[in-house]
A and B are shown apart, each in its own frame.
Chain A
């Protein structure tokens, strides 16, 4: 109990760093929640809804129809923004296109095209597929409406007919892959649970490394260790208390994040998939504590470990393990390295669970996450023993 009390006392000194990372974690969850739509498994084809910025300088009947069409099919932002901000939003892919309907466009549309007619200006990154897709959609709709209108239809009828021909849900079908047992394989997009669960390991690692690691390391200082060795308190009891204390704090972080995830995941919370994702995070948290035990026995300064090394480990693991970048985007070489990291198996588990797989399918992944932790713990114990013998 004395060791535990001291551990808590030392731990309190590092609560500022832990709070910083904890708040950062909440912000990451909130940001991902705000940025991405919940796109749960669906059997129907849905036209891609993309974020675009729109400026209607024309305010004509034609431009209003086009604006209405865009609003029905995309996430349209009409807020007035400087060209600097809009260029930045395009660069960071916060928007896919910056569309401007110039003054006189509607008039030229009605009277028929001339070489110097005003055109809808669409600024996109021409290198990416989304840019091409959205421009093709604009052209398809406007050209269809133009053709229908000039073939003799009224503007309203032309717009309706153009919308009807462009409503892909009417003529596109998603074919489901059928497994040998007759069940179907869902090729669904990321669910909200997967998106939100994916960003937590980084903050769990950061919280553990910046707050628990220095506290545990302070018990490894030579003078303190010598005093403890001279006392009648068994070494194994001290180690066990420290391990349980660390685990307790890590679980406290875990529980706090679980509450947040339960709130943000909405209707997906407490579903079978969500519960397994929660179990996945729990396994990862335990593995992180074991990893922390390994770092604590490294012969490095506490300040170096808790700032530089922990930043390198947490960010490195997050990037190489598919936390910040989807696994499908990583090259084969990176994936090969990633296989040795718990973050990789964590991401793999989330992918599998989102794809409809069950507990038995992801159990090996959980095992590999835990195996990494156990290996770290074993090395930590061996190093600790070796250093004690040398001492």
Chain B
């Protein structure tokens, strides 16, 4: 009987072409939008070589400043600045038309001036570099005042003291905008709540004719609902897998971990979504619309709290009220993806997986327990 109900429920799902089509299209369409909009955001924040113009300096000073600026490199050896030699007449054209980072006036090496069009990162980097030149100017003056210490001061100026140790942040893929994809997959998983919600609603005698027929039939109600839930979960897992396929294969997003573990998270996440809707559907004293609104709350508001609209939201909650991230299903699924990228298989990943399993079991059991407690006084 279990298998028969399962097959009929699957057939029913497939026959509802409109819902099926949109459920399948949802991750594809939204994923495409996300990929189009967010694909290149991180690259804008990365270090790239900026042009800087030198004006007014003597040949010797220009050569010295040029070599100093060109020697500043990022960790992977990319030079931060490309130096142009210009005159003060070209300044405005360079700043506003060519949009170079800034113009360094080195006519007076003790008082180097920087002219910029805005105060962005490159301009700040240049400002700090000039700070080092200005330090050397002060030290030179000190050496001139105190000739006995001149040798020591000159040594200090040329000495490369390593007082700061730069360490790279954790994470296989450091692009924070990938977390929009985590949030999207989490949303697709939790959207399975709608399918889970439909199971008890369809079986309710006072809501649909089908429900009335089921109620009077000699089928075990708990077994029937469980079978329908499995069918709904199977279809929703297919939808989530399509979403994952799009993210990994079509958009080629580096999720920072192996595909097998991602599939595991997607399956568990979808089961959690289905069981959430299933338990919600059994809150019998609420209308169908209210139940749907609560499901929407979990899908959209939960998605919002897990960073679907702004990545910083989840972190703000983690810092100020972490308990919300521990009970919000979308955040738990999101955490599982995130932990794999950041720390690999470890404590946080196991915690997320364990929470998903426990929540799925608890919510399904709650739904099943409540399914037998329904009475229709008005019939």
Partners in one complex: yes
A123 to chain B, nearest CB (A): 5
Are A324 and B131 also in contact (CB < 8 A) when A91-B174, A312-B29 are? no
B38 touches A92 (CB 8 A): no
B300 touches A21 (CB 8 A): yes
A300 touches B301 (CB 8 A): no
Partner of B38, one of A93, A316, A325: A325
**Which residues of the other chain, B, contact A34 by a CB distance below 8 angstroms?**
316
Interface size on A, residues (CB 8 A): 101
Most A CB within 10 A of own CB, among B123, B135, B167: B135
Indicate if A103 sits at the interface (CB-CB under 8 A).
Answer: no
B310 touches A122 (CB 8 A): no
A172 touches B149 (CB 8 A): no
Indicate if A391 sits at the interface (CB-CB under 8 A).
Answer: no
**Which residues of the other chain, A, contact B294 by a CB distance below 8 angstroms?**
16
CB closest residue in chain B, given A115: B162
Indicate if B44 sits at the interface (CB-CB under 8 A).
Answer: yes
CA distance A324 to B37 in the complex (A): 9
**Which residues of the other chain, A, contact B114 by a CB distance below 8 angstroms?**
168, 171-173
CA distance A184 to B55 in the complex (A): 24
CA distance A303 to B293 in the complex (A): 11
CA distance A16 to B287 in the complex (A): 12
**Which residues of the other chain, B, contact A303 by a CB distance below 8 angstroms?**
19, 292
A148 touches B165 (CB 8 A): no
A165 to chain B, nearest CB (A): 4
CB under 8 Å from chain A, chain B span 89-106: 91-92, 95-96, 102
Against A, the Cβ 8 Å flags (1 = close, 0 = not) of B108-149 are: 000111111111111111111111101100110011001001
Indicate if B217 sits at the interface (CB-CB under 8 A).
Answer: no
CA distance A85 to B316 in the complex (A): 10
A311 touches B300 (CB 8 A): yes
**Which residues of the other chain, A, contact B316 by a CB distance below 8 angstroms?**
31, 34-35, 94
CB under 8 Å from chain A, chain B span 14-37: 18-19, 22-23, 25-26, 29-30, 33-34, 36-37
Q: How large is the interface on B (under 10, 10 to 19, 20 to 34, 35 or more residues)?
A: 35 or more
Chain B binder among A220-228, A231-239, A271-279, A328-336:
A328-336
Against A, the Cβ 8 Å flags (1 = close, 0 = not) of B151-180 are: 011001101011111111111001010010
Partner of B165, one of A14, A121, A162: A121
A226 to chain B, nearest CB (A): 22
Partner of B37, one of A27, A308, A330: A330
**Which residues of the other chain, B, contact A113 by a CB distance below 8 angstroms?**
161-163
Indicate if B209 sits at the interface (CB-CB under 8 A).
Answer: no
Indicate if B290 sits at the interface (CB-CB under 8 A).
Answer: yes
CB under 8 Å from chain B, chain A span 140-155: 140-144, 146-148, 150-152
CB closest residue in chain B, given A214: B289
Most B CB within 10 A of own CB, among A137, A150, A151: A151
Indicate if A386 sits at the interface (CB-CB under 8 A).
Answer: no
CA distance A333 to B37 in the complex (A): 10
B307 to chain A, nearest CB (A): 8
Are A304 and B19 also in contact (CB < 8 A) when A92-B312, A172-B127 are? yes
- Interface of A: prevailing SS: helix
A151 touches B139 (CB 8 A): yes
A91 touches B26 (CB 8 A): no
B281 to chain A, nearest CB (A): 14
Indicate if B343 sits at the interface (CB-CB under 8 A).
Answer: yes
Are A126 and B36 also in contact (CB < 8 A) when A24-B301, A161-B138, A311-B26 are? no
CA distance A165 to B157 in the complex (A): 14
B118 touches A187 (CB 8 A): yes
Against A, the Cβ 8 Å flags (1 = close, 0 = not) of B292-332 are: 11101101110010011111111110110000000000000
B19 touches A301 (CB 8 A): yes
Partner of A325, one of B41, B117, B146: B41
Partner of B169, one of A45, A125, A136: A125
Indicate if A202 sits at the interface (CB-CB under 8 A).
Answer: yes
Chain B binder among A127-135, A253-261, A356-364:
A127-135
Against B, the Cβ 8 Å flags (1 = close, 0 = not) of A1-24 are: 000000000000110110011011
**29 A-B contact pairs sorted by A residue (CB < 8 Å):** A13-B289, A20-B300, A24-B300, A24-B304, A31-B310, A46-B119, A47-B124, A48-B120, A84-B348, A87-B342, A89-B319, A91-B170, A91-B174, A92-B176, A92-B315, A124-B167, A124-B168, A126-B74, A133-B121, A137-B124, A141-B131, A150-B156, A152-B149, A165-B134, A168-B130, A304-B18, A308-B191, A312-B26, A333-B36
Question: Nearest 10 A-B pairs (CB), nearest first?
Answer: A168-B127, A16-B293, A319-B37, A119-B165, A316-B33, A92-B315, A166-B131, A144-B135, A129-B121, A165-B134
Q: Which positions in B face A, CB cutoff 8 Å?
A: 18-19, 22-23, 25-26, 29-30, 33-34, 36-42, 44-48, 72, 74-75, 80, 91-92, 95-96, 102, 111-132, 134-135, 138-139, 142-143, 146, 149, 152-153, 156-157, 159, 161-171, 174, 176, 179, 191, 194, 289-290, 292-294, 296-297, 299-301, 304, 307-316, 318-319, 338, 342-343, 348
